[in-house]
Amino acid sequence: MHAPLAPTTHLPIGSDADLAWVRQQVRKTATDLGFGLIQQTKLVTATSELARNTLVHGGGGHVEVTPLRAGHVCGLRLSFVDAGPGIRDLDLAMTDGYTSGGGLGLGLSGAKRLVQELIVDSCPGRGTTVTVTDWASGLPAPRTGTR
Amino acid sequence: MAEQHDVTPEVAQELGGFLEQRREQIAQRWADAALFRTVFTVSRDEAVEACKAVVDALADVACSGRLEDIHAPGFDTVREQLSRMAATRAQAGFSPSQVAGEVAGLRQPAAALLQAEFDDPRAEHAHACALALTVLLGTLRLVVMETTVNSGEALIARQREQLLEVATPVIKLWENIVAVPLIGTLDSARSQVVMESLLEAIVHERARYAILDITGVPTVDSLVAQHLMKTVAAARLMGAHCIVSGIRPAIAQTIVHLGIDLGTITTRAGLADALAYALGQQGIVVSPSPAAGAIPR
Ligand SMILES: Nc1ncnc2c1ncn2[C@@H]1O[C@H](COP(=O)(O)OP(=O)(O)OP(=O)(O)O)[C@@H](O)[C@H]1O
Ligand SMILES: [Mg+2]
């Protein structure tokens, strides 16, 4: 239904440095697609949370970045893929404040509030794929450098 | 007959014997190669000694028969020296492949000496020995390459550490008031450094107020928020009150959507507001500068 606007890029998630690179690439792609500053900030923050989950809980993986287009609107789909332990109880994992480690437990639930669509596809013992889709709202992105 | 690339134990032994016997001559020839000459600059003798150490190591490796093994124990005695040589060449602007080329250049002088050992240099046995020498020096080249890669990684790690320090200056703004302008990615390693240098500064400056300015932090996610909260809590234990400033509107909205509660932390829009707050808390009142167009007294 939503035609890809450009081919999918794969970025590895295997270290803290990779996380920084993924955030930068998503920010750049979102800017190019016309995402406004606030939406961009939200999407990049969700990216940071999900990519870190892929790294910390999933033991590393990759993200697939696909620019989309539906009519005149541009969007971005991000799939965070790992082959880690998977999530046994998804409702619990999506609960504010639930963490199996020492986190705040706000990554997954918070990310869902930051984007328009978030789908978790997890198979215990096989891995987790979290896919977010966000469409640029009608407002044009503010130009940087001009006031 | 053995295959072309197989060096028989006998040939390896013979090569080892040759290297032991001719170490002085080989060292004398190598000492003038840039690889040694430009690294061991105190005297030519120093370069010759360094060459001998490498010849001895090669002889040892040859005698052990592990001509193609970069981890052969024979190399251990010169590994550090080789890495120092490679590092010096790298500092002089040579790329790893250029350094590898210089190591490859050591073969010719040694091969010429080896050839002179045989009555008929074209005999099969002479060929076998020459081939063994080529294999051995190829391995030496790999050993050097490996040290350059390792020292490259060590250099990056060192620069990263230096960057950590440079990127987190703690500034004394006023009596009792310190500030840290945070810039860039706040990963766990940097957060740790920030916390440590801030706590140190609090003790050193007897600070009662510490301002963390996050204007330069591009993304505040739950981990960054957690680091901030931990830093604030630690500062509190040291008797200092923390103020977080520089939270941009987009970041403020994002933090709220994420569900992070910064309610226990004093926040101010800008660094100046944070400073005014800290001064005000100490009874120092800052009157705003006369606005443009105000009537002069
Ligand atoms: N990719 C994943 N693979 C396996 N388990 C996951 C994955 N992502 C999330 N989880 C599980 O879901 C829980 C909740 O995730 P969430 O991101 O909300 O919190 P957290 O990562 O523990 O802490 P933080 O607030 O620092 O992100 C995690 O503690 C973990 O048990
Ligand atoms: Mg998380």
pLDDT digits (tens, 9 = 90+) for A64-117: 999 999 988 999 999 999 999 999 999 999 999 999 988 899 999 999 999 999
How high is the pLDDT of residue B166? 59
Cβ contact, residue pair A23, B253, below 8 Å: no
How high is the pLDDT of residue B188? 73
Is A143's pLDDT higher than 50?
A: no
Q: Look up the pTM and report it.
A: 0.66
**CA B111 to mean position of chain CA atoms:** 37
How high is the pLDDT of residue A16? 83
**Closest to B146 measured CA to CA, from B92, B198, B80, B50:** B80
Option in B187, B249, B260 nearest A106 (CB): B260
Compute the distance between CA of residue B279 and CA of residue B57 in angstroms, rounded to an integer: 68
Cβ contact, residue pair A113, B222, below 8 Å: no
Listing from the earlier edge strand, what are the strands of the sheet with B241-245?
A: B171-174, B177-183, B209-216, B241-245, B266-268
Compute the distance between CA of residue B201 and CA of residue B178 in angstroms, rounded to an integer: 7
How high is the pLDDT of residue A140? 43
Residue spans per domain, chain A: 3-135
Residues of chain B with Cβ-Cβ distance to A41 below 8 Å are 219, 250-251, 253-254
At A29, list the tokens. 């792609």
Within an 8 Å CB–CB cutoff, is residue B223 touching chain A?
yes
How high is the pLDDT of residue A146? 39
Compute the distance between CA of residue A39 and CA of residue B191 in angstroms, rounded to an integer: 26
Task: Identify residue B128 by its one-letter amino acid code.
Answer: A
**A127, A82 Cβ separation under 8 angstroms:** yes
Compute the distance between CA of residue A17 and CA of residue A78 in angstroms, rounded to an integer: 19
Compute the distance between CA of residue A29 and CA of residue A27 in angstroms, rounded to an integer: 6
**B108, B39 Cβ separation under 8 angstroms:** no
Compute chain A's Rg from CA coordinates: 15
Cβ contact, residue pair A27, B226, below 8 Å: no
**Closest to B113 measured CA to CA, from B7, B21, B229, B26:** B26
The mean pLDDT values, 10 residues at a time, for chain B of 297 residues are 66 96 95 91 90 96 94 93 88 84 93 91 89 94 84 70 68 93 80 87 94 92 92 93 94 94 90 94 79 51
DSSP state of A11: E
CA distances from B212 to B176, B228, B285 (A): 15, 8, 21
Residue spans per domain, chain B: 3-159, 171-281
The more confident residue out of B156 and A129 is: A129
CATH architecture assigned to B3-159:
Orthogonal Bundle (1.10)
**A120, A81 Cβ separation under 8 angstroms:** no
Option in A16, A37, A104 nearest B222 (CB): A104
How high is the pLDDT of residue B88? 86
How high is the pLDDT of residue B265? 92
Q: Does domain A3-135 have CATH number 3.30.565.10?
A: yes
**Closest to B167 measured CA to CA, from B150, B182, B147, B145:** B182
CATH architecture assigned to B171-281:
2-Layer Sandwich (3.30)
ipTM, interface predicted TM-score of the complex: 0.87
Q: Counting every residue, how long is chain B?
A: 297
**How far, in Å, from the CA of B148 to the mean position of ligand 2?**
38
Is A26's pLDDT higher than 70?
A: yes
- A86's torsion region: left (phi>0), alpha (psi -120 to 50) or beta? left
Residues within 5 Å of ion ligand 2 by Cβ? A 53, 107
C-beta atoms surrounding B189 within 10 Å: 13
